[in-house]
Amino acid sequence: MIRGLRPTDAFAYAAFRRRTPVNAALARPDGYDAPLDARDFVGGVLSIDPRRRRWVHVANGQIRGLAVVTSRFGADVWDIERLFLTSSPEATRVGVDLLNHVCTSAVEDGVQKVFLRLPEDSEVVLIARNAGFISYCSELILRRRTAEPSAITSVAGLRPRRRADHLGLFRLYCSVAPAFVRQAEAVTLQEWRSADGWWRPPVDWRLPNRTDRVLPGNDGIRVWISTENRTRVLRVVSTCEDSALAWAAVSAELSRLGAHRPASVVLRDYQGCLLPGAEALGFDLWTRHTLMVRQLAVRVPEPRLVPLRI
Q: Indicate the range of 87-91, 133-137, 177-181, 302-306 predicted with least confidence.
A: 302-306
Report pLDDT for 200.
57
Asked whether residue 75 carries a pLDDT value surpassing 80, the answer given is: no
Report pLDDT for 310.
66
Report pLDDT for 37.
76
Identify the CATH homologous superfamily for domain 146-198+208-281. Answer: Gcn5-related N-acetyltransferase (GNAT) (3.40.630.30)
pTM of the model: 0.88
Q: Which residue has the higher pLDDT, 228 or 206?
A: 228
In which band, very low, low, confident or very high, does the pLDDT at 2 lie, cut at 50, 70 and 90?
A: very high
CATH number of 2-136: 3.40.630.30
Domain ranges of the chain: 2-136, 146-198+208-281
CA distance 30 to 49: 23
In which band, very low, low, confident or very high, does the pLDDT at 229 lie, cut at 50, 70 and 90?
A: confident
Note the pLDDT tens digit of each residue in 258-296.
Answer: 866 788 999 999 999 999 988 888 899 999 999 999 999
Q: Which residue has the higher pLDDT, 70 or 22?
A: 70
Report pLDDT for 150.
64
Asked whether residue 203 carries a pLDDT value surpassing 50, the answer given is: no
Asked whether the beta carbons of 119 and 30 are under 8 A apart, the reply is no
Does this chain's domain 2-136 share its CATH topology with 146-198+208-281? yes
Report pLDDT for 151.
66
In which band, very low, low, confident or very high, does the pLDDT at 152 lie, cut at 50, 70 and 90?
A: low
In which band, very low, low, confident or very high, does the pLDDT at 235 lie, cut at 50, 70 and 90?
A: very high
In which band, very low, low, confident or very high, does the pLDDT at 250 lie, cut at 50, 70 and 90?
A: very high
In which band, very low, low, confident or very high, does the pLDDT at 181 lie, cut at 50, 70 and 90?
A: very high
Pairing of strands 283-295, 264-268: unpaired
Asked whether residue 225 carries a pLDDT value surpassing 70, the answer given is: yes
